[in-house]
Structure 1
Amino acid sequence: MIDKNQIVEKAIEKFLLLGSKQVTLDELATMLGISKKSIYKHFPSKKELVNTSIEALIASFRKDADQILEMERKPLKTIVLLYDTVFDYLQRFSPPFLCELKKYYPEALVIYNDFRHEFVSATVIPLLKKARQDGSIQSEVDLELFCHLHLQGLHHRLLGPNYLFDRYTKKQLIDYMIVNSLRGISTQ
């Protein structure tokens, strides 16, 4: 018997690959070898399944990020490792994924955007402040502005019309988008 978590796992896989609009509940049920009614037992609507899938994806990322944060390292190295994980997740997003959330599942997009902002404000900015305290970042840098300019809109640049993952390696993108940005405010 397929449980709720297995439905969510398969939904995430297919939504990221094809986009949330392109995957029907009938197709999802067929892939799982269950009836559509079995999905409706756990999710009253596709909207609820999409929202739950986004929440599960965020929970998975948080678990991975927590493992990085538990290790003692210099704050700037921690930020690079966190964004390496961010890029791992974003690489799984198909180009239409976020566009379809915006158009068809705005509540799911709000969940995703709230998380992005919370991640930067509650995780990245404190690490940048710690780096400034240890002398690794120039004291006059406005950390909020830095994050707004360099970190907040990464997904738009990566997943936009030019879908950068098709043209560059993840390492190149991290070096140019994260490492070089951090070097620009670094004292070292």
Structure 2
Amino acid sequence: MATLDTKQRIKQAATELVMQYGIRSVSMDDIATNLGISKKTIYLYFKDKDELVDEIVDDIIVNNRYECNADRGRAENAIHEIFLVMDMMAEMFTAMNPGILFDMQKYHPATYRKFLKHKNEFLYNVCRENLERGKQEELYRPDLAVDILCRYRVETMFIPFNPDFHQSLKYNLAKIEEEIIIHFLFGLVSIKGYKLVMKYWQQRESKKN
């Protein structure tokens, strides 16, 4: 049990540091110092930084799958599901370093391919099921080209991580993602759906004040 606890503590500390500073900027020494342990202790559980990053991303993917499925299950309708996703993204992205995907792609390519598989398969299917549900509920336009829009959505979800994009903006990732997803949502909805979007949006804004 102690061994498992130590490994989890290392992953948790590493995750927090990586989310804040990016992958490249965080060394094994930084993680050891943060935990008050020796770097040798970390290497008892992870052979190198690449393995540690890979396990961190595995955990993030598992957690993301769980949260997406939970949101889908408790959503009142397709639009409500999008607002639940917005809440999840706000919590996840508020303090996230936008350079994290660039670092992963450049320095941990195998892990990045794993992330791409999650994006292109799981997240794509989550979007597709939401659009089909919204059409059935008559909240989205009946003429939506679902395949095109889902591919567009999963790509735009990660545009803010592009250095050329985020470096020219003063907003954090959470705010940028919120603007992108609301823009996307207004392009989907029927008149009936528009009224529901405004209802959820006003409820969301009132909670902020």
- Shorter chain as denominator, the TM-score bin is 0.7 to 0.9
Structure-2 change in CA distance of 1:140 and 1:19 (3 Å): same
Identify which range, 57-66 or 6-15, moves more after superposition.
57-66
Check if 1:56 corresponds to 2:59. yes
TM-score normalised by length of structure 2: 0.78
Which of the residues 30, 39, 43 maps onto 2:42?
Answer: 39
Structure 1 position 149, deviation (Å): 2.1
**Superposition map of 1:17-166 within 5 A:** 17-157=20-160, 160-163=163-166, 166=170
1:11-68: CA deviations, max 9, x gaps? 1111111121221112211211112221111111110000001111222333333332
Cα distance in 2 for partners of 1:143, 1:80 equals 19
Structure-2 change in CA distance of 1:94 and 1:172 (3 Å): closer
Structure-2 change in CA distance of 1:83 and 1:63 (3 Å): same
Secondary structure at the counterpart of residue 164 of structure 2: coil
Secondary structure at the counterpart of residue 158 of structure 2: helix
Cα distance in 2 for partners of 1:42, 1:48 equals 9
Secondary structure at the counterpart of residue 161 of structure 1: helix
Cα distance in 1 for partners of 2:80, 2:95 equals 23
Structure-2 change in CA distance of 1:100 and 1:171 (3 Å): closer
Cα distance in 2 for partners of 1:135, 1:113 equals 32
Structure 1 position 172, deviation (Å): 7.0
Structure 2 spans left out of the alignment, 5+ residues? 192-209
1:68-115: CA deviations, max 9, x gaps? 223141112202321331343233321322111111111121122222
Cα distance in 1 for partners of 2:120, 2:127 equals 10
Structure-2 change in CA distance of 1:117 and 1:88 (3 Å): farther
In structure 2, what residue type is equivalent to 1:100? D
1:116-162: CA deviations, max 9, x gaps? 22333221211110111222222221111112223423222355334
Number of residue pairs the alignment of both structures matches: 187
Cα distance in 1 for partners of 2:104, 2:41 equals 24
Identify which range, 10-19 or 163-172, moves more after superposition.
163-172
Decide whether the 8 Å contact of 1:138 with 1:185 is kept in 2.
yes
Identity, in percent, stands at 22
Decide whether the 8 Å contact of 1:19 with 1:94 is kept in 2.
yes
Secondary structure at the counterpart of residue 144 of structure 2: coil
RMSD, matched Cα: 2.4
